[in-house]
């Protein structure tokens, strides 16, 4: 912003230099040198220093030929500096924009969606979706296409991006089955049959209409600007159209739609039309603000010094010439005043730091290059100094400081705390507890969560976790103990689940209702340990023995199991269940004559039987340094 000011002052300097050349005057530096001499010598050289153009006397002074020959160097240096600043800034912006576009394309290309093709769940790119695909949708998904819900588990969708309504809309096979692209799945899971993709989807139609509206608005704006430029709209015509004092005005007023809002005011000076201009000025960064302030201060100081220099030179010359030497005024002396003015302009120009914009641009570009080595992409140069002023950086932990690869490393089962999970633990845990635990984990997790074995048998290669990482940790625990969650899911497909209470921030737990083979229902629950433990009335002890959970036992488990896990940086989850049977019920079961009201969640998810408590670890990235 201050670069044009520098150029103006420099140009002013050269203009004054040309004026000086026209008067055949010597360099301003010689004037300063001449004024330093004794007063008597000034008068002796005064007639030899300058002469007006067209005068009869020939100038005895000679300009410095070497200085005039090298005068182009300064202008060329300034020109090269400006070119370097422009090229460095443009190249940096182009490079960063290209990197960000490549990163954005990579992100869009990596955005995949789970579909069922040939009976297998596949992860395909969103752009490869076609009409007729069956997609698995879950909490957190952004729907990429329109579709029909063919299976749902407490599915709720946020359609505010299309309708503006913030309330979540419940979707199901029999009630409001239409799912629209651009909406977010806020709760539950299900399956969707794709009915429209791309520009034929609801979001695509809206974007197409918006694009057409923008084009039409631009056309109208251009036509309006052209009409104003041609003078087709005048104030008199507007007055007639608004007041209708004449026949032409009345017909025009009838033809033109009246604005919906009219603002009345008694102030005659108030504007009759609201200003449509919106300020789009970009706020200055901290460094830009400081540099602007510095440039203004330098300008004030330079101006003050330049004015004082001119005044001192004029006063000293006048005293020396007209007071001490008592010479009469002559137009010849005006040449000296021109020289003094040029000296003042020179002082002002010298005070301006011409290399400051180049130095700042080069330093920021160097900072960007160093940040790129740390895999930090910077789109704008001023972002470097913005981050340089940061005193604290708040970062997300999961997936940023950690690997986002959850692993169950501790388990509390049948009254025993296992610090290290091994396959041999399955022989210690009773069959009843093991089967209940495996079924609870396999069925009370999103069916989109899976643990895929490594593609190759290379040493150190880990299985791939797909879906919710916390659920993948529990599924990995089942595999570590020799179980197979795939087999359990094949015996109990997702369509056979009777009711699903999906995880949300209010519940902090997830529950699934299944039918028992001998009749009745079983509710599996998993969630935050402190939440689930409060709802437990029983616990499975040694060899699957059922025990009553007292208040003292709950406090002991929290003190000796949950709190130590939390102190080790582990995420704790509890797994529990409850049975509803139509026949004679045991102590931890509920007898019913008619099917329970599954909408009464409070009375359904209570008096649970605790099966296990897990400590799940999210390993820290190797490059993350400890505090």
- Please identify which residue in the block is written with the tokens 């737990």: 509
424 included as an active-site residue? no
SS3 264: coil
Q: Kindly state the DSSP code that residue 62 receives in the 8-state scheme.
A: -
Taking phi over 0 as left and psi of -120 to 50 as alpha, with beta for the rest, 625 belongs to beta
Give Cα separations from 263 to 239, 259, 435 (angstroms).
16, 10, 75
Is the separation of the CB atoms in 583 and 591 below 8 Å? yes
Measured on CA atoms in the order 176, 177, 179, 184, is the torsion positive or negative? positive
CA separation for the pair 350, 360 (Å, rounded)? 19
Give Cα separations from 232 to 224, 245, 256, 563 (angstroms).
10, 20, 16, 80
Contacts of 354 (CB under 8 A, 6+ apart): 6, 10, 78, 81
Is the separation of the CB atoms in 130 and 194 below 8 Å? yes
Q: Kindly state the DSSP code that residue 617 receives in the 8-state scheme.
A: E
Helix (H) or strand (E) holding 122: strand 120-125
Token pair, residue 43, equals 């008068």
SS3 sequence, 270-282?
A: CCCCCCCCCCCCC
Q: Which of 235, 267, 396, 552 is catalytic?
A: 396
Is the separation of the CB atoms in 206 and 153 below 8 Å? no
Strand partners, 408: 616
Angle at alpha carbon of residue 467, lines to 466 and 470, rounded to 5°: 105
CA separation for the pair 540, 546 (Å, rounded)? 5
Token pair, residue 415, equals 């009254």
Is the separation of the CB atoms in 505 and 523 below 8 Å? no
Backbone angles phi, psi at 617, to 5 degrees: -110, 140
Give Cα separations from 479 to 41, 172, 426, 538 (angstroms).
106, 33, 11, 27
Within 10 Å of residue 529's Cβ, how many Cβ atoms?
25
Task: Annotate 302-369 with DSSP letters as a single string.
Answer: HHHHHHHHHHHHHHHHHIIIIIIS-PPP-GGGHHHHHHHHHHHHHHHHHHS-TTHHHHHHHHHHHHHH
Backbone angles phi, psi at 499, to 5 degrees: -155, 140
Backbone angles phi, psi at 501, to 5 degrees: -100, 100
Backbone angles phi, psi at 196, to 5 degrees: -155, 140
As annotated, the active-site residues are 396
């Amino acid at each position: 912003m201050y670069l044009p000011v520098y150029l103006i002052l420099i140009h002013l300097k050269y203009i004054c230099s040309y004026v000086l050349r026209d008067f055949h005057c010597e360099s301003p530096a010689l004037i300063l040198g001449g004024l330093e001499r004794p007063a008597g010598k000034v008068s002796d050289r005064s007639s030899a220093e300058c002469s007006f153009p067209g005068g009869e006397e020939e100038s005895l002074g000679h300009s410095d030929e070497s200085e005039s020959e090298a005068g182009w160097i300064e202008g060329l240096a300034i020109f090269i500096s400006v070119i370097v600043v422009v090229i460095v800034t443009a190249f940096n912006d182009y490079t960063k924009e290209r990197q960000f576009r490549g990163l954005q394309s990579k992100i869009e290309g990596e955005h995949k969606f789970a579909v069922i093709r040939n009976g297998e769940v596949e992860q395909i790119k969103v752009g490869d979706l076609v009409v007729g695909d069956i997609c698995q949708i879950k909490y957190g998904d952004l729907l990429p296409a329109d579709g029909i819900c063919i299976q749902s588990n407490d599915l709720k969708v946020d359609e505010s991006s299309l309708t503006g309504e913030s309330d979540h809309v419940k979707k199901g096979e029999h009630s409001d089955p239409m799912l629209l692209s651009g909406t977010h799945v806020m709760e539950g899971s299900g399956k969707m049959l794709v009915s429209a993709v791309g520009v034929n989807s609801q979001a695509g139609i809206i974007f197409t209409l918006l694009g057409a509206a923008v084009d039409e608005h631009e056309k109208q704006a251009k036509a309006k600007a052209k009409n104003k430029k041609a003078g087709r709209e005048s104030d008199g015509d507007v007055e007639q159209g608004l007041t209708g004092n004449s026949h032409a005005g009345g017909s025009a007023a009838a033809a033109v739609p009246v604005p919906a809002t009219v603002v009345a005011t008694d102030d005659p000076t108030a504007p009759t039309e609201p200003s449509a201009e919106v300020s789009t000025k970009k706020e200055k960064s901290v460094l830009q603000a400081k540099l602007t302030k510095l440039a203004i201060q330098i300008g004030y100081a330079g101006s003050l010094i330049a004015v004082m220099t001119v005044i001192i030179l004029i006063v000293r010359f006048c005293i020396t010439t007209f007071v001490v030497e008592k010479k009469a005024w002559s137009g010849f002396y005006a040449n000296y005043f021109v020289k003094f003015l040029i000296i003042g302009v020179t002082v002002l120009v010298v005070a301006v730091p011409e290399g400051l914009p180049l130095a700042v641009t080069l330093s920021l570009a160097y900072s960007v290059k160093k940040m790129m080595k740390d895999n930090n992409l910077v789109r704008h140069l001023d972002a470097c100094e913005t981050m340089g002023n940061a005193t604290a950086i708040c970062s997300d932990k999961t997936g940023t400081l950690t690997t986002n690869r959850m692993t169950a490393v501790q388990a509390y089962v049948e009254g025993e705390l296992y610090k290290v999970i091994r396959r041999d633990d399955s022989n210690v845990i009773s069959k009843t507890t093991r089967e209940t635990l495996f079924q609870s984990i396999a069925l009370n997790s999103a069916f989109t969560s899976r643990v895929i074995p490594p593609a190759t048998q290379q040493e150190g290669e880990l299985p791939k976790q797909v879906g919710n990482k916390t659920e993948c940790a529990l599924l990995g625990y089942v595999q570590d103990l020799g179980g197979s969650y795939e087999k359990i899911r094949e015996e109990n497909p997702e369509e056979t689940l009777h009711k699903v209470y999906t995880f949300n921030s209010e519940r902090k737990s997830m529950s699934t209702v299944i039918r028992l083979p001998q009749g009745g229902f079983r509710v599996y629950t998993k969630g935050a340990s402190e939440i689930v433990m409060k709802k437990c009335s029983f616990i499975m002890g040694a060899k699957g023995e059922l025990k009553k959970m007292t208040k003292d036992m709950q406090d002991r488990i929290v003190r000796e199991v949950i709190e130590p896990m939390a102190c080790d940086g582990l995420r704790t989850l509890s797994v529990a269940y409850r049975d509803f049977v139509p026949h004679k019920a045991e102590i931890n079961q509920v007898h019913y004559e008619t099917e329970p009201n599954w909408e009464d969640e409070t009375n359904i998810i209570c008096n649970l039987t605790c099966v296990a408590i897990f400590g799940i670890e999210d390993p820290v990235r190797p490059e993350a340094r400890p505090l």
